[in-house]
Amino acid sequence: MTYEPTWESVSRHPVPDWFHNAKLGIFVHWGLYSVPGWAPLTGELGAVVQKEGWAAWFTRNPYAEWYLNSLRISGSPTQQNHVKTYGGGFTYDDFVPMFNEATRAWDPGDWSGLFRQAGARYVVVTTKHHDGFLLWPSKQPNPFKRGYQVQRDLVGELTEAVRAHGMRMGLYYSGGLDWTFNDKVIMDITDLFQAVPQTPEYVGYADAHWSELIDRYAPAVLWNDIAYPAAADLPALFARYYSQYPDGLVNDRFTQRFRFDTGASAIVNLDHFDFRTPEYATSHELSEKKWEATRGIGFSFGYNRNEGPENYMTLERLVHTFADIVSKNGNLLLNVGPMADGTIPELQRERLLGLGAWLAVNGEALFDTRPWIRAEGRTDGGTPVRFTRKGELIYAIVLSQPQHGEVVIEALEAVDNAAIHLLGHEPALRWRQEGRGLVVALPDGLPEGVRPASAYALRIAPAPRLAE
């Protein structure tokens, strides 16, 4: 299909089935900020903003990828640590040769193999973050900083490795912030709007980069961040991209007009997008519009050497969060923050491998599914249950480790000839109806991969009814 460069035309673009089916993507934040790999342990985005406000968030920003902005805030923890570690005369640009040297050791095949083992079906990597440093050898170099890009084509090599492992490749680009074009220090949420470069020079620069990324790497997702300059012709960009790659998608952060929201994601796009991207947040209700929850395993997207086990999601929380997101028509874009040399911290690897082990048994209940008529349920003991659908059957994902031989799912009524299976356990399970509760007898031994994550999935075919 050929799209015209109008909002009306590009708005007819459907969300492709591959994205509905994929469910799990891996986000990678890697750049100059990975060299210091430092940020304070302030906490999780939504909780901090709700309790202390945006000004407190930016001053003690736990996002290590915001290192340059935090460094420029007088008296900030990042500034104090930077001077203590590197000295007052050491600038952010001095990380460039250090990063280029460190990346010589990187093996893209190791990353892509790990991501595939975790169960991911797509990957999104930062090609340019807010600091303006480029992770590919662009033919449109930075006009203000000579050599402000990688010597090795990190984007291209990862793209090739990801596709070799059967996954799709998406590209992140910070279109809304580039501190080489607009160096306004961001100390509150309103500063974001003033920090978006709006000059004709930047419009041409960002547009040229997106065109180059599309032509060179054929990305499955255009994942823009923060905003986009108001004078840019986005319908033309989207029409060109969709016409060339009909199965491609654009996210909701190509924002040219702004509106405040009450949640952590304060900027809301008012024009076309294929999917929403709440950050460190999930949905309380089943959403008709496709969405993608994005978050780090810890509190930061970029590598933060300060984070320890207490700052990372447990495997149980990760699995429960993933099941909740999928039941409500979402994908999870789970971030890893590699060190400068490409090493993925061991704690992050552990979580990815743990998730992959659970999905090897239970992934059938999440991948290639669609939402059921409701997302949430519970057992008679109050344990949360999440539902998904695949054709004429449903999956009930029980977010706990069973404490006894039976589980009772409330307000669920199976049809007379229903067959119920525990994923990872071949024989059908015995069941009975007791009033509004579906009682399922569980086997004595649970399949490998269930206990560490404290969640298990039941396949019910044909689909049950909601009990009155």
pTM: 0.96
What pLDDT sits at residue 450?
65
What pLDDT sits at residue 444?
83
Q: Is 155 left (phi over 0), alpha (psi -120 to 50) or beta?
A: alpha
> What are the backbone dihedrals phi and psi of residue 5, each rounded to the nearest 5 degrees, phi first?
-80, 55
Q: All domains of the chain, ordered by start, with CATH?
A: 7-365 (3.20.20.80), 376-466 (2.60.40.1180)
What pLDDT sits at residue 266?
46
Written in H, E and C, the secondary structure of the chain is: CCCCCCHHHHCCCCCCHHHHHHCEEEEECCCHHHCCCCCCCCCCHHHHHHHHCHHHHHHCCCCHHHHHHHHCCCCCHHHHHHHHHHCCCCCHHHHHHHHHHHHHHCCHHHHHHHHHHCCCCEEEEEEECCCCCECCCCCCCCCCCCCCECCCCHHHHHHHHHHHCCCEEEEEECCCCCCCCCCCCCCCHHHHHHHCCCCHHHHHHHHHHHHHHHHHHCCCEEEECCCCCCCCCHHHHHHHHHHHCCCCEEECCCCCCCCECCCCCCECCCCCCCEECCECCCCCCCCCCCEEEEEECCCCCCCCCCCCHHHCCCHHHHHHHHHHHHHCCEEEEEEECCCCCCCCCHHHHHHHHHHHHHHHHHHHHCCCCECCCCCEEEECCCCEEEEEEECCEEEEEECCCCCCCEEEEECEECCCCCEEEECCCCCCCCEEEECCEEEEECCCCCCCCCHHHCCEEEEEECCCEECC
What pLDDT sits at residue 1?
84
pLDDT tens sequence for the chain (468 residues): 899 999 999 999 999 999 999 999 999 999 999 999 999 999 999 899 999 999 999 999 999 999 999 999 999 999 999 999 999 999 999 999 999 999 999 999 999 999 999 999 999 999 999 999 999 999 999 999 999 999 999 999 999 999 999 999 999 999 999 999 999 999 999 998 899 999 999 999 999 999 999 999 999 999 999 999 999 999 999 999 999 999 999 999 999 876 545 444 445 556 799 999 999 998 889 999 999 999 999 999 999 999 999 999 999 999 999 999 999 999 999 999 999 999 999 999 999 999 999 999 999 999 999 999 999 999 999 999 999 999 999 999 999 987 778 999 999 999 999 999 999 999 999 999 999 999 999 998 776 666 667 899 999 999 999 987
CB atoms within 10 A of CB 369: 23
What pLDDT sits at residue 193?
87
What pLDDT sits at residue 233?
97
What pLDDT sits at residue 467?
87
Q: Is 342 left (phi over 0), alpha (psi -120 to 50) or beta?
A: left
CB atoms within 10 A of CB 390: 18
> What are the backbone dihedrals phi and psi of residue 212, each rounded to the nearest 5 degrees, phi first?
-65, -45
Do 180 and 199 contact (CB within 8 A), yes or no? no
What pLDDT sits at residue 446?
72
Separation between Cα atoms, residue 370 and residue 21, nearest integer Å: 8
Q: Please name the amino acid found at residue 52.
A: E
